[in-house]
Amino acid sequence: MLRVVVLGAAAGGGVPQWNCGCPICQAARTEQPELQSTQASLAISADGGNWFLINASPDLRQQLIAAPQLHPSPGKLRHSPIAGVILTNGEIDAIAGLLSMREGSPFTIYAHAKVLATLKSNSIFNVLNEKIVRRQPIAIEQAFEPALADGSPSGIEILPFEVSGKGAWYLEGERHPAGQDDAGDTLGLRIRDKATDKFFYFLAACARVTDDLKSRLRGAPLVFFDGTVWRDDELIAAGLSNKTGQGMGHIAMSGETGAIAALEGLGIGRKVFLHINNSNPALLHDSEERRTAERAGWQIPADGTEIML
């Protein structure tokens, strides 16, 4: 059985964001604490005992405290059930949590060579001793099976694939440490339990749904998909930023080319938005946008939600 825990559902900054006074962040701080959400990450397991993280958000420490599945085994002085971390991009909200895993427990980081080059070029990540925390490159369209801490197979097959997106924000205008090749900045993942053949897709960032992507996702039992903004100019309209969703490499939920319309009619069993920005009105339980998303079969998860496949 494949177990999936939503450690966090929010985009960069979380809900509420430290410096944001927008209505949703204000409500999350005051009368609606249930709106609070940490930055996007999943934990997955095929055996219920050994787990892998999909991205390591800056909120990782808080997320691990809140997830009993990821606590050390009782009676062990030093232990973690986390055998590895799979990174899908090099953004702060996907990699900064690695710095909270620096206490000498062995695990493996799986990432595209481009993201590994980013880690290598930032000396702060040297705090993760490579003799203890291995760094293993993954490649587009090459399935791999992450290993458990003792080197045995995990029973999980992961297929990374290229998704329309963009490079990390902090590298804008700079030469990428891995060179200027565009590939590998944003990965989607197909995650399969080898014993049961159950699988799901993870796409926390996606700028555009192409025909190729539609045929890939058709009939999938479960898809986690980029839910950053409701509409493309949402941050501009709210006076929060001069960036569009597209400018940040994220498709909107709504609109003719938005995620809801693009993934309609593909026979996907369960559709879950992830990486939801605090400006997104679909976060509000009583909003028209929330009702529209739910009517179209989409779920907006609370942190800690567990799904079994």
CB of 299 to Zn ion, least distance (A): 22
CB of 252 to Zn ion, least distance (A): 17
Chain-centre distance for alpha carbon 278: 16
Give the nearer residue to Zn ion in terms of CB position, either 280 or 299.
280
Confirm or reject binding of residue 22 to Zn ion (CB under 5 A): yes
Give the nearer residue to Zn ion in terms of CB position, either 88 or 278.
278
Tokens for 15?
Answer: 């809900």
Sheet holding 133-138, edge to edge: 133-138, 107-112, 82-86, 51-54, 41-45, 3-8, 306-308
Give the nearer residue to Zn ion in terms of CB position, either 86 or 283.
283
Question: Closest by alpha carbon to 38, among 65, 66, 10?
Answer: 10
Confirm or reject binding of residue 20 to Zn ion (CB under 5 A): yes
Q: Is the dihedral of CA 240, 244, 250, 255 positive or negative?
A: positive
CB of 279 to Zn ion, least distance (A): 6
Interacting positions 26-85 with Zn ion (CB under 5 A): none
Interacting positions 272-291 with Zn ion (CB under 5 A): 278
- Integer Cα distance of 43 and 7 in angstroms: 7
Give the nearer residue to Zn ion in terms of CB position, either 26 or 136.
26
Burial of 246 (0-12, 13-18, 19+ CB in 10 A): middle
CB of 66 to Zn ion, least distance (A): 22
Confirm or reject binding of residue 25 to Zn ion (CB under 5 A): yes
DSSP code, position 196:
T
- Integer Cα distance of 186 and 223 in angstroms: 16
Confirm or reject binding of residue 235 to Zn ion (CB under 5 A): no
CB of 253 to Zn ion, least distance (A): 17
Give the nearer residue to Zn ion in terms of CB position, either 23 or 219.
23
Give the nearer residue to Zn ion in terms of CB position, either 179 or 239.
239
Pure H helices in 160-230: 211-217
CB of 35 to Zn ion, least distance (A): 10
Site residues (CB under 5 A) for Zn ion?
Answer: 20, 22, 25, 278
